A and B are shown apart, each in its own frame.
Chain A
Amino acid sequence: MRVPVEWLREYVEVAPGTTGADIAASLVRVGLEEEGLHGADITGPLVVGRVISADPEPQKNGKTINWCQVDVGDANGTGEPQGIVCGAHNFVAGDWVVCVLPGGVLPGDFSIAARKTYGHVSAGMICAADELGLPDDGSGGIIRLAELLPGADLVPGQDAVALLGLDRVTVEINVTPDRGYCFSLRGVAREYSHATGAAFTDPVPTLARRAPHGSDDGFAVRLDDQAPLRGQPGCRRYVTRTVRGIDQGAPTPAWMATRLTEAGMRPISLTVDISNYVMLALGQPTHTFDLASITGPIVVRRAAAGETLKTLDDQERSLFDEDLLITDGGDRVLGIAGVMGGADTEISGSTTDVLIEAANFDPVSIARSARRHKLPSEAARRFERGVDIELAPAAAQLIVDLLVEYAGGVADEGATDVGDGLPAVSIDLDLTLPTRLVGVAYDEDEVVDVLRQIGCAVEVSGDRARVRPPTWRPDLTTGPDLVEEVARIHGYDAIPSVVPRPPGGRGLTRSQQARRMVAELLAGRGLQETWSAPFISAQVLQRLGIDVADPRSQAVKIANPLSQEADLFRTTLLPGLFDTLRRNVSRGARDLALFEVGLVALPDGQGRTAPTEEPGIRPDDATLARIRAAVPPQPRQVAFALTGERDRTAWWGPGRGADWTDALEIVRDLGQALGLTLTTAAAERAPFHPGRCAVVTVPDGRTAGWVGEVHPKVCEALELPARTVAGELDLDVLLAASEGDTLSAPVSTYPMASSDVALVVDDTVPAARVEAALRAGAGEHLEAAALFDLYSGEQVGEGKKSLAYRLQFRAPDRTLTTSEVNAARDRAVSRAEQETGAFQRGA
């Protein structure tokens, strides 16, 4: 909402010398946040001039310019006439004009200097309204002051900034949804008065007193809402007035056009401008019909199936059955109530008699219509926040007054005023509530004073009060609403700062701590943590090779995505992580190790729906259970991706490129850090290389995730570097598996004995199986079995590989003998021979 200060002064005293910033600072104290300050952006000499001569000079380019001598008094320092080249022709010698002299700056940072043009030195500019940021004055060119300001006492050289109101400031504020009444100068002026104590003059009571009561000789109106929304009739009040014989050629007075422009609305025509003016001044949207185009009576009803309307913006719209309509005689649709009027009853140049509508509509009805038709009009914005029910007759009166004064109309005596109005709201307030909720010791008189100040009627009885909020505050319905009024008028800066003392918490949960540890571990191992928006698409899943049968294709679909390439909520972190990887590569990075921790959503495909409820009601347990069950499971995953060199090559020597072993190493790291034995086994799963993918399982057999080298086709489709390595693990599964305390075993201090074995097995036998067999066969004294060499080649034969293990033995209570060690080794080897077909190399 833009608040022109000059306009604000009409309703509230603003002390002389108060700046726009001062006003903004006062308003923010009562909850109207500053969005910006506008105006007062002309600097330097802008003066009144009188044209002494204007000589037309035709130019080669076909234009004719005027070489003018303008009397600007002493403003140019010499008193000599100012020579100015002007391209406009709507003036003659003797006219009063506005000149900007060299050194002046016009809106848009447009600096004026003397310059050579068309064979003259033009020392300044004769100004048109738009060049000064003023509304169109109808002159069709430069401003002629004698017409713009009839009767003004003009002197050459006089300052024109103040004369034209160009020193005026507009304060732009943000109005929260509960303060619909602040979408008016009247409302903002009242708040300014609350903030500063300045005297406020409400324009409404005077207007209301002059407005005629509804009578039979007013225009016939029938409210016929057969389908109220949520039990509320769509139209609460409908006031009409009639003005006849208006002159459509009459211009909008300059002061009004200026105020509208400053408030951010474009002046259009006198009738429309008056309607907008009254809306901005008082907060009441109105509509003006061409009386000749309607037969009556006005019937307000809900739309029927198939009805359409061509609205003022020339759009043909299909109407929804919940739309509240203004109709002529019930048949012809004149407009969507409170949202937008129809095109064919619009005021035109030939209109002489008008019917003014000032109505009050149900906020819900207007909000739904505006939303469905995507018409967030100025009227709808006010109605959906609630308009003062008492405003309609006063607003209609102000429109009548302005039409009579500026368009030469004559008002009919009669008026229409129908509707049930609104039931009076009465709040039973415990006068100690403000102190109890705010923590400031207000005394009860203070509470009552504030409530009366904002317009409430208050009847005190003991420590309670019956409070009737003013009609312009439909947002006040509960005790805490009134508490906020007390707190804000008294000032939020009076609230002390007291740190509460909770009973004491458990600190971070084990899982929260473990998650931090996992992220720190990965960062410590050289991985960079990134995060991404959780949006993917079917195409991306397809490029990853994830087919439609894969549960990861069952994604939550977003109804209003930012783009069709981002219309699913992720079921895997990998697409986002791959995007990040690719972005880094495209920016020149070569060696990358990234990880991301985040939620994925894995709907079960049951299509359950979550019921919604009215606010303020605790759903029963069964309903709550349905709500919870409809929310898809969202496990927390950790994903990583590596490309380029894992260990760098440089002056210290050769490094090593990232490969599948790094993926396995990360699994090892995570397992060890969480105190978990994680097992890997060969697996096939998108988006991984079928021969270089492992499924990772926790000790109870649950799958934690998959890691490996990314499939070459996926790398190609996603434009990832070849042989990118990645993995994705379910952190919730890992953390659950690592719950519980580890029991400590004694650490033996007896000597260790070791024995090496080299076993040859078929290429296809997984090392993990060989190791498991060795461990099983070696018995209780085996302390470690480490694979120290892996060989395949001529010496072991085609299709074979040699695995060399160092077995370390130690007893808890004695030194093992050589024969004991040898026997244990032999058992280990023979177990491996039985279970994996291994034979000892060289044996």
Chain B
Amino acid sequence: MSGPNTQYDPVEVAALDPAQIDAAVQSAIEGIAAADSLEALKVARTEHQGDKSPLALANREIGALPPTAKAEAGKRVGQARGRVAQELKARQQVLEAERDERILADERVDMTLVPDRRPLGRRHPVELMGQQMADVMVGMGWEIAEGPEVEAEWFTFDALNFDQDHPARQMQDTFYVEPPDAGLVLRTHTSPVQARAMLERGVPLYIAVPGRVFRTDELDATHMPAFHQLEGLAVDEGLTMAHLKGTLDRLAAELFGPEITTRLRPSYFPFTEPSAEMDLRCFVCHGNDPDCRTCGGTGWIEWGGCGMVNENVLRACGVDPRKYSGFAFGMGIDRALMFRTGVADMREMIEGDVRFNSQFGMEI
């Protein structure tokens, strides 16, 4: 850049002619607008903003002007250059945005594809059902107890008031353990844990026992030699059948929805007196179809047995029946799953076909 030339007359310097400057600005605006890519804009930038651009040349001439003319010329050129810079910046932003958009568009993939590198496993729905039932009981302030599957006959039968010779003991379809005097069976119900809990924890007691039980039933659509029960036992002062019904109603409502209807009907179990069966209103026909296959037309589905703990059971477990009363219930976890999910064939629950599990989520 040359030094100021005080001899110059600005009027004679063509580059500073306002018309010329306007023309240069106009030409720059057009050139910038015409740039259709960042590369073209780079060329336009050199052309209109570079060292050899008309406005740069004009700027260079300002120094040669007499001080009186400098201010005005400087202002004129400065505004012109500012205008061009603004245009360039704006165009740059537009073109960059277009480029970015193009790149993103090019990177588009098919988001309907399902990458299945390692499919998720599943919990078994029966386990989830048992867990959910246990959680309802825990929510009511009960605790979860457990016991062995190969169990002493005393815990399985004697403690529960099953007399050695009573038909009820024979009706259990029990797996016995050799030798015959071992006094061991595969538990036919989760009820032996009642006796274990009373003896070990004492009373008052509120326990639920989810667990596996065994009967000598061949596997078919409606029987499994091994299946699952949830046992409940409450022993406290002043407990009545009303508390039993309240507990079962709450459990049923949590599992099957608040609109579920339940009923108790008289029944018989050696370990309870009075005894009852708990029925649920048929989910399918709601009692309106005499030919319903789910409930056999009765309108009710049997869910479990229950009753007030027999005084003999309390005595066998060292609890004074004059002071304490209790209630107990036992119901099928597998059956609850069938009611909830419509599993029609029990074999599907025990066979372990992964397609069965995969129908369900990780909670049910």
Contacts and interface: CB of A to CB of B under 8 A. Distances in A.
Interface of A: 21, 24, 28-31, 33-34, 36-37, 176-179, 230, 363-364, 367-368, 371, 384-385, 436-440, 478-481, 483-484, 487-488, 492-493, 495-509, 512, 516, 519-520, 522-535, 556-562, 569, 580, 583-584, 587, 589, 592-596, 598-599, 601, 607, 609-619, 624, 627-628, 630-632, 634, 646-648, 650-652, 655
Interface stretch (B1-9, B63-71, B100-108, B145-153): B145-153
Given A24-B298, A30-B266, A611-B154, 16 more contacts: A176-B267, A364-B165, A367-B167, A439-B243, A440-B242, A488-B266, A497-B245, A499-B249, A529-B124, A557-B177, A559-B178, A560-B176, A607-B182, A618-B316, A627-B155, A630-B184
A57 B358 CA distance: 68
A499 B171 contact: no
Which of B212, B266, B275 has the most CB atoms of chain A within a 10 A radius of its CB?
Answer: B266
Contacts of A631: 148, 150-152, 184
Contact of A609 (B181, B219, B241, B246): B181
A455 B125 CA distance: 50
Contacts of A436: 238, 240, 325
B250 interface: yes
Which of B165, B265, B352 has the most CB atoms of chain A within a 10 A radius of its CB?
Answer: B352
B241 A580 contact: no
Contacts of B141: 501-505
A491 to B, nearest CB: 10
B226 interface: yes
A630 B182 contact: yes
A190 to B, nearest CB: 15
Given A503-B141, A614-B158, A651-B113, A438 B274 contact: yes
Interface in B303-337: 308, 310-312, 315-318, 325
A593 B358 CA distance: 13
A762 to B, nearest CB: 35
23 contacts: A178-B268, A179-B268, A371-B170, A385-B167, A436-B240, A437-B241, A488-B266, A501-B141, A502-B142, A502-B206, A506-B143, A520-B123, A526-B121, A534-B149, A561-B175, A569-B149, A569-B186, A599-B212, A612-B158, A615-B312, A627-B183, A631-B152, A652-B117
Contact of B144 (A492, A509, A646): A509
B242 A492 contact: no
B294 interface: no
Interface size class, chain B: 35 or more
A177 B225 contact: no
Given A505-B206, A610-B153, A648-B118, A559 B265 contact: no
Given A488-B274, A508-B138, A631-B184, A558 B176 contact: yes
Given A177-B268, A613-B158, A437 B274 contact: yes
Interface in B285-302: 290, 296-298, 302
Interface string B71-93: 00000000000000000000000
B116 interface: yes
A33 B267 contact: yes
B144 to A, nearest CB: 6
Given A177-B166, A612-B153, A21 B354 contact: no
A580 B351 contact: yes
The 9 closest A-B pairs by CB, nearest first: A439-B242, A31-B266, A439-B240, A530-B352, A610-B183, A484-B274, A176-B268, A580-B352, A616-B312
A630 B354 contact: no
A31 to B, nearest CB: 3
B122 interface: yes
Nearest to A601: B150
A479 B311 CA distance: 10
A524 B120 contact: yes
A558 B175 contact: yes
B273 interface: yes
B329 to A, nearest CB: 13
A609 B176 CA distance: 13
B184 A647 contact: no
B239 interface: yes
Contacts of B308: 437, 480, 483
A223 B236 CA distance: 49
A480 B155 CA distance: 22
B354 A594 contact: yes
Contacts of B206: 500, 502-503, 505
Contact of B362 (A503, A520, A610, A611): A520
A29 B216 contact: no
Contacts of B218: 562
B247 interface: yes
A609 B171 CA distance: 24
B342 interface: no
B357 A529 contact: yes
B17 to A, nearest CB: 64
B118 A31 contact: no
B161 interface: yes
Contacts of A483: 273-274, 308
A613 B308 CA distance: 22
Which of A176, A437, A500, A631 has the most CB atoms of chain B within a 10 A radius of its CB?
Answer: A500
Contacts of B249: 497, 499
A532 B155 CA distance: 24
Given A558-B186, A559-B177, A647-B118, A618 B315 contact: yes
Contacts of A501: 141
B354 A533 contact: no
Contacts of B162: 615
B121 A500 contact: no
Given A528-B354, A556-B177, A615 B117 contact: no
B351 A519 contact: no
Contacts of B240: 436-439, 498
Contacts of A506: 143
B164 interface: yes
A505 B117 contact: no
A162 to B, nearest CB: 22
A615 B161 contact: yes
Contacts of B127: 519, 529, 531
B276 interface: yes
B129 interface: no
B121 A593 contact: yes
Nearest to A504: B141
A532 B212 CA distance: 11
B21 interface: no
Contacts of A505: 138, 141-143, 206
A454 to B, nearest CB: 12
A487 B274 contact: yes
Contacts of B276: 492
B150 A634 contact: yes
Contacts of B318: 618
B61 interface: no
B304 to A, nearest CB: 14
Contacts of A503: 141, 204, 206
A179 to B, nearest CB: 7
Contacts of A178: 268
Contacts of B226: 533-534
A618 B317 contact: yes
A561 to B, nearest CB: 7
B184 A556 contact: yes
A502 B140 contact: yes
A525 B204 CA distance: 42
A594 to B, nearest CB: 7
Contacts of B183: 609-612, 627, 630
Contacts of B126: 531
B140 A533 contact: no
B163 interface: yes
B142 A531 contact: no
A612 B153 CA distance: 7
B217 to A, nearest CB: 8
B259 interface: no
B180 interface: yes
